[in-house]
Structure 1
Amino acid sequence: MEKWATHEHTKRSEDSESEVVTAKNTSPASVKGSALPAPSSSRYPDGGVHAWLTVFGAFLALFCTFGQLNSFGTFQEWYSDHQLRTTPPSTIAWIGSIQLWIFFFSGGFIGHVFDVYGPRVMMMPGTILLVFSTMMTSLSTKFYQYILAQGVLFGIGVGMMFYPSLAAISSYFNRYRGTALGIAFAGSGVGGVVYPIMFRELFEKVGFGWAVRISGFISLAACCIAVATVSTNQSSSQKKTPILDITVLRDVPFLLLIAGSLLICLGLFIPFIYLAEYATDNHISANAALYVLSAMNAGGILGRLAPPLVSDVLGRFNVIVPSAFLMGLLAVVFWLFAKTLTTIIIFAVLYGFFSGAFIAMIIPCVAQISPDGKIGTRIGVLYSIVSFG
């Protein structure tokens, strides 16, 4: 006991000396009886002009990127009746699947670049690539052309806008991170409501080519504002991170989060791609079928706002787990029996809500269990792995 007491006394003395040395090199606000700054320190302002401008810019970026990804069911239904009418629907769906895979898989590299250089290095060329791919889609007529323009190039452009803008938000917010990211993710839900309706109206009035070009001009305006407003709160010392972070392999909570997300993403986007065509197969008009997709994304707006807001009080993992479970349960017990327009719309809204909650909550969960300066990289690693799902 005496040896133990002596050891403890020595250890406390060393700890006290360490705190004094740290205090000399750290601002008083960041040291309150500990060498480590509290999560609510000035490193995370949880507000301010630059923080909320970043949220605004991310909202616009997600509106025209992830919002269009959520609207691919519009193109799936249109291609089946027009340009690619001789191509099986399952083959046409490869355009949307490759688009999603490229977007997810690019996260590892893009997240690392964000941690080292900040958001604009990726977002500026991302804007150019996004607009270019959209214009090339408007000129395409063959299946392989749609794969290259709308699948590969558009998917890369979305990733270059998506990851930096959301990782930048995480650098400004801690306590209200879920709320801030939820507001930004709501942009994808708003885009998912607007784009299917806009495309359907413009396809009929101005034709496919100009309808897609108009969306390209909208993307150009929104992304330029996003590039101007999104910034990062990371210091240069936080940006020093290796491309391959082997500590990830020893982080069990992070590995479990990746595994769970991978399983969920095996079926997450199936309704977004097929629900409009599913509705037409149940004798619902093509116009009404596309409004079903908008209804799903409308539910996603609320799902991207309310659960993240609640998660800042109840806990991020306490919200994402039941949301993911209910999303899967809906597909099993509701979608299989939805045959009328009313029941399909109800399923669409509910599925949109819980899928939106999962999509919006995954990044706050990653940020919560990731060290500073590695949030962008870890977000990218997770998305790269779940891309195969």
Structure 2
Amino acid sequence: MSETVYLDHAATTPMHPEVIEVMTETMKRNFGNASSIHQIGRESRGLVEEARRTFAESIHAKPQEIVITSGGTESDNMAILKTAEKYRDRGRHIITTAVEHPAVLKPVEYLAEAGFEITYLPVNEDGEITLEQVQAALREDTILVSIMYGNNEIGSLMPIGDIGRYLKESAPGVVFHTDAVQAYGTEDIDVKDEKIDLLSVSAHKINGPKGIGFLYINDDLSIPRLIMGGEQENNRRGGTENVPAIAGFKKAVELRMVNKSELRESYSYFKKLFINKLEETEIDFSVNGSIEKGLPHILSLHLKGIPAYKLLIHLDLARIAVSIGSACSAGNVDPSHVLIALYNDNHPAIEETVRISFGQGVTEEGIIKTVNKIQNTCASLKVN
């Protein structure tokens, strides 16, 4: 059987061996309920609080500003729905972008059905929005601005710091949320400098376990809980803490923070190598978004004249994993809303785009194998 080449790290990442080791040891030794007052419980509580400090340090926050959740989707839902609930008497206008993850778009759509008014900012040719767009969209009844840090399909980065600082100075009553799930672990995030009120993170994007994440909530902000139950997470999120997953998440963050610069350089190198190898072929292609300014681990390619789903099948049969959109839309035959926002409903790129994303375990040999397979498949599909 041929060796698997995994190039879908934007969908999820394999757990780092050290993360698995930490989780395994935690499951063996720290089974106590972190809310119990006996020694076994207090040992688990100690692990949770150590992790909270690590999460906080990674974004320059305070430990008490971190609410541990089940992942990015819960964090996004809590940030958006509960901000709207808290401040609906102040106004019912929300600003977001046309290229957000479904974990943001779905709760925003839910709020629209409940009587809120939503402004969706369009993106430019690089998949970005500008501070000026946010300024123009602000109204007296605006209560929330939710803009992703980096896009999960084309890798475009948004001017989060510029927006956050402007809002804090010129519209201090507006809450600023960013979905940083795809950017966390590669970008340098400072919630205080960038004046971010709410920030969502998920562990499985940085070689941590699935089903765990956190929501940063600025000390100056208080929003109701989304998950009702016990008094865990300082009475902000009910549910018995998943101590092994939290410990694994902590290890993943520690590894990522130490190696962030090195990882960024390797991802940028892999991206350039992939493009260079494609350019050596006769494949007609273009890059969706910006090569230089985007997230280093995401490469969105329009392979002109090649149906993406057919290419995906051929690559899969060769044990090469890539994507034709967000993994959270798996099984959904609808075209990518991100590519529609970047181009238009009828642009060929909508049906001819694949996403390549880099991470742990990617090698030059794997990239060369993938490009060769794409070259052979494209030639075959054009003949047929």
TM-score, structure 2 as length reference: 0.29
Structure ranking higher on relative contact order (CA contacts 8 Å, 6+ apart): 1
Whichever structure has more strand as a proportion of its residues is 2
**Greater helix content:** 1
